[in-house]
Amino acid sequence: MRKKLLKDRVSVMMPTRPADSNNIAARFRFTLIELLVVIAIIAILASMLLPALSQARERAKSIKCAANQKQIGTAVMLYSQDWSNWIYPVSDNAAVITWAIRLNDDYINNQKIFHCPCDEDFTFTKAHLSYGYNFNGVGAYPGNNGLGQTWSKAGTPLAVKFTQVMAPSTTIFTADSKADGTEDYAIMLCAPGTSASNWISKYDVSTRHSNGSNILWGDGHVNWQLRNAIINNPNWWNRNL
């Protein structure tokens, strides 16, 4: 009897053997096929999300571009109010003080406002601005339906007053320029068959925002338009209509 009790006491005091840790790990181990399935799912999700993220990034850049032109529009109007309703032309008679320099120096004081985030060729010079000014309107050069090239230089489109813009809400003031490093500060509708038709590489609008451009209109609002719509609506370029 004493031996039996001693044996029972020893059995109680002895620790229970833990479960085999290798067996536990084996239960949670991925097989090669399961791992490949997980990788494939991650790849599919990435392929679905990356284009959406890229589109969102481009959309954010376009919104910033539109906000820039909105500020430019405010400066155009402030200049006009300060200077007897005149709209500053694309440059002075000597082609030194451009519209961007004048508006920036007097009202904006931030060269980055003239830079579209999608334009990788920007410098604050007339050859590399992101936005062009509708100086000649539509038709042959020198035209008489844009916003003007100089104040009084013979043989150039001359500056105009706001009262000479018949339909501001449908008249282009600025837009994303082609940004090829050749007088990007100016735009015009280079109509086929006119003396300006060979200037399209210089004064065309950009397609950097989903095949279109942001436009500042004469009443100060900004929106996006397809390039095809821009070049096929000559009335948008004509301050007389």
The answer to the question of residue 45 being in a domain is no
> Among candidates 160, 146, 176, 112, which has minimal Cα distance to 241?
146
pTM: 0.77
The model's confidence at residue 148, banded by pLDDT at 50, 70 and 90, is very high
Tell me what pLDDT residue 79 has: 96
- Condensed to tens digits (0 to 9), the pLDDT of residues 65-107 reads 999 999 999 999 999 999 999 999 999 998 889 999 999 999 9
The answer to the question of residue 53 being in a domain is no
Residue 191 in this model has a pLDDT that exceeds 70: no
The model's confidence at residue 43, banded by pLDDT at 50, 70 and 90, is confident
Residue 6 in this model has a pLDDT that exceeds 50: no
The answer to the question of residue 23 being in a domain is no
The answer to the question of residue 60 being in a domain is no
- Number of domain units in the chain: 1
The answer to the question of residue 92 being in a domain is yes
Tell me what pLDDT residue 5 has: 47
Q: Which residues contact 41 (CB under 8 A, 6 or more apart)?
A: none
The answer to the question of residue 25 being in a domain is no
The model's confidence at residue 53, banded by pLDDT at 50, 70 and 90, is low
Using the Cα atoms of residue 172, residue 173, residue 175 and residue 177 in order, give the sign of their dihedral. positive
Higher-pLDDT residue of 11, 224:
224
Range of the domain at 209: 65-237
- Cα 203 from Cα 135, distance rounded (Å): 10
The answer to the question of residue 83 being in a domain is yes
Tell me the average pLDDT across 54-72: 90
Percent of the chain with pLDDT over 70: 81
Planar angle of CA 70, 170, 163, nearest 5 degrees: 85
Other Cβ atoms less than 10 A from the Cβ of 116: the count is 25
The answer to the question of residue 1 being in a domain is no
